[in-house]
Amino acid sequence: MGAVWGITRQGARKKWPDAVVRTPATASAALGLFGGTAELTLDPSSRRWTWTARGADGERGAAGADTGCATREEAAAYAGAFLQGHAAP
């Protein structure tokens, strides 16, 4: 768009900040910690990350249905804390 208007790419991003929505290369990720596993998933409609996990002790956990995290790293931190709390004895 910037080339058509004769401005730089950075100028075009400032002028039209929502013109292009970037999606992550992957919309899911797996995490293994403390003997358990977690799946991180990006909800395309809300653009929020959620997680589901199974601890080493067999306990299951997940982000609340109406909650989510702004970044994959934030979701990984919550899932990691769950897995740490449910590590094998």
* Tokens at 6, concatenated: 């004769």
Average pLDDT over residues 65-89: 89
Average pLDDT over residues 62-75: 84
Q: Could you tell me if 31 and 41 are in contact, meaning their C-beta atoms sit under 8 angstroms apart? A: no
Main-chain dihedrals φ then ψ at residue 34, nearest 5 degrees: 55, 30
* Tokens at 80, concatenated: 């990691």
The answer, yes or no, to whether residue 14 has pLDDT greater than 90, is no
